[in-house]
Amino acid sequence: MKRRTFLHLAGTAAALPALSRLAWAQAYPTRPVRLIVGFPAGNAPDIVARLAGQRLSERLGQQVVIENRPGAGSNIAAEFVVRAPPDGYTLLLATAANAINATLYSNLNFDFVREIAPVATIGRSRFVMVVNPAVPAKTVPEFIAYAKANPGKINMASPGIGSSPHIFGALFEMLAGVELVHVPYRGSIMADLLSGQVQVFFSSTSSSIEYIRTGKLRALAVTTATRVEVLPDIPAMGEFLPGYEASGWNGVGAPQRTSIEIIQKLNSEISAVVADPDMKARLAGLGVEPMAMTPAEFGNLIAAETEKWGKVIRAANIKPD
C-alpha cells in the first residue's frame, strides 16, 4: 500500500510541471505581443506583418505590436529575438533573408537555424524576371543567348548584395551559364529600370505587376518551377532551366526555448488567420500565396532553404558589403 501511494504521489509530482505549462499556455497571452520585423515600415515584409498582426490580435485577444528593427539585412531583428526571453511575447517575422544570411554573413553572433524556433508560416512570395522593353529578348532562351553574346554588358539591379533578388539572379546566372553585372541599390530601382540604365531585375510580383500589365516592363518568367495564378500567361523559369526555383517566404519564429504549448497555440491561431478567405484575398493582392505549415514543416523549409542558398552563395563567392 505504501509503495502504491509513493508511486502515485511521484507520478503526480512529475505531471505538475507539464500541467503548469499547459495552464500557462492556455492563459497566454495576458499582455501585448511584439512581432519584430527586420525591414523598414512600408516594405513588403512589414505590410504582411501588419496585415497578419491585426488579424492575430483579434484571435489572441491581445494586441500584436509590429516593431521595426531594420539593419544588417534583417540580422539585427533576428538577434534581438534570439536574445529575448522565451515567453512568447517577442516574436520574429522570419523571411527567406534569414536563411540566406546564415551563409552570407560569416561573423553572426547567433545561429538562426538553431536559435529561432519555427512557429508558423504565413505565405510564399512569388518573384518575376523583368527586363526593360529595349532589351531585344522576349523569352528566357532569347535573353540567355543575348547575354552570352554580350558578356559583362547587361546590368542586373538588386536592393543590395545578398538580397533575395541578387541571390535569385545569381542562381539564374549559374544555371544559364551567363554573366550579368550586378548593380546594388540602396534606394528605388524602378526609375533606372524603366529608363534603361539597368536592364534586368528579379522583382517581387507585387512591385512590378502593374508595370508588366501596362507594358512598361517585359516579364520573361516567374521564378518558380510552375506558373502562378496572378501572371498565368508568363512562363515559369523551370520550363527553361530545370531545377530553378526561387521564392520568398515569411512566417513567425520565437526564441529557441519557447514552450511547445505556446508554439502550438500560436501555430493554431496563425494558421487560422492564413486560412481566412478575406486574409487569403488580401495576401493574394500583395503577390503572396497563403501558406500554412506545422512548426516541424516550417523547420524543414528553413533548413532546406538555408542549405540551398548557402550552395549558391559559396559557388558565386558572394560577400556582404
Domain 28-125+247-316 and domain 127-239, same fold? Reply is: yes
Share of the chain above pLDDT 90, in %: 80
The CA angle 279-283-287, to the nearest 5 degrees, is 165
Among residues 305, 312, 311, 310, the alpha carbon closest in space to that of 121 is found at 305
The pTM assigned to this predicted structure is: 0.86
Residue 266 three-state SS: helix
pLDDT band at 11 (very low <50, low <70, confident <90, very high): low
Instruction: Give the phi and the psi of residue 255 in degrees, each rounded to 5.
Output: -55, 150
With b for 16 or more beta-carbon neighbours within 10 A and e for fewer, the 120-132 pattern comes to bbbbbbbbbbbbb
Tens digits of residue pLDDT in 100-119 = 999 999 899 999 999 999 99
Mean of pLDDT values over 261-272: 98
Tens digits of residue pLDDT in 119-146 = 999 999 989 999 999 999 999 999 999 9
What is the CA 94 to chain-centroid distance, rounded? 6
pLDDT band at 19 (very low <50, low <70, confident <90, very high): very low
Domain 127-239 CATH assignment equals 3.40.140.10: no
CATH classification code of 28-125+247-316: 3.40.190.150
**Any idea where the domains of the chain sit in the sequence?**
28-125+247-316, 127-239
Average per-residue pLDDT for the chain: 92
DSSP string covering 42-89, please? TSHHHHHHHHHHHHHHHHHTS-EEEEE---GGGHHHHHHHHTS-SSSS
